[in-house]
Amino acid sequence: MTPPALLAALLLLPASLAPTGETLAFAPAPTRTEAAPSWQWPLSPRPPVVRGFDPPPKPWLSGHRGVDLGTASDGVQVTSPAAGTVSFAGVVVDRPVITIDHGNGLRSSFEPVESSLPAGSAVGAGQTIGTVLPGHCPAASCVHWGVRRGDDYVNPLQFVMDLRPSILLPLVAPP
Residue 8 is predicted with a pLDDT of 40
CB 23 within 8 A of CB 173: no
Encode the chain (175 residues) as per-residue pLDDT tens digits. 454 443 344 334 343 333 444 443 443 444 444 445 789 999 999 999 999 998 888 888 888 899 999 998 888 999 999 999 999 999 999 899 999 999 999 999 999 999 999 999 999 999 999 999 988 887 789 999 999 999 999 999 999 988 777 777 777 776 7
Residue 165 is predicted with a pLDDT of 78
Residue 140 is predicted with a pLDDT of 81
d(CA 171, CA 22): 12
Global pTM value: 0.73
Angle among Cα 74, 75, 76 to the nearest 5 degrees reads: 95
CATH number of 49-159: 2.70.70.10
Residue 144 is predicted with a pLDDT of 95
Any idea where the domains of the chain sit in the sequence?
49-159
Residue 73 is predicted with a pLDDT of 85
Helix, strand or coil, per DSSP, at residue 49:
strand
- DSSP secondary structure string for all residues of 83-137: -EEEEEEEEETTEEEEEEEEETTEEEEEESEE--PPTT-EE-TT-EEEEE-S-SS
